Amino acid sequence: MARNPASRIVLAWLVTGVTDFTFSSVLSVVFYGSTVTRLFQGVASVLIGPSAMQGGTSTAMLGILMHFGVALAWTAFFALVALRSSVVRDLATSRYGIVKTAALYGPLIWLVMSLAIIPLFTGRQPAITARWWIQFFGHIPAVAVPIVAMTTAGLTVVTASPDRPTARTARESR
């Protein structure tokens, strides 16, 4: 695993982008009877409006680019917070910390995206349906777990006792 923060962020971003791409694509095709093209045209429609749905491959590619851009933003944000906040870092590097942190961060991402960012661009509030809840919980394994696991890998956790301070890597503390 890469040790420097920039390498961890890039790796986490790419894995998160691919994992979430796969998750959302499987949902769209297998469970919702749609296509990957239509899924990412829908993503592009947040930026360019409803005409994206008739834009063909080019708007689907724009949607994929946007998808990876958003994954980079959320990955970089978490890395910055984890590097600067001992509370987040301690939670993420505690026992089962990846899962605990992801259980908070994944839904937070979905809440911000679906209730603030997307409505800001589209002027429409989301319908809170079963699909919305699937995304809410799906963001834990498909988005937040790779972000948290990969950005915190190799961080040093300092544990101190009155007589002896010690340091170990985050991986050793899990």
For residue 54, the enclosing domain spans 5-173
State the pLDDT at residue 67: 98
State the pLDDT at residue 154: 73
Q: How many residues does the chain have?
A: 174
Q: What is the pLDDT of residues 66-93, one digit of tens each?
A: 999 999 999 999 999 999 999 999 999 9
Residue 100 has pLDDT above 90, yes or no: yes
Q: What is the pTM of this model?
A: 0.87
Return the structure tokens found at 104: 């908070």
Residue 81's nearest CA partner among 99, 105, 110 is 105
State the pLDDT at residue 155: 67
Residue 161 has pLDDT above 60, yes or no: no
Residue 164 pLDDT level (bands cut at 50, 70, 90): very low
Give the rounded percent of residues in the chain with a pLDDT score beyond 70: 87
> Tokens 């005409």 label which residue?
51
Q: Are 101 and 161 in contact (CB under 8 A)?
A: no
Longest dimension (CA), the chain: 68
Mean pLDDT value across the chain: 91
How many independent structural domains does the chain possess?
1
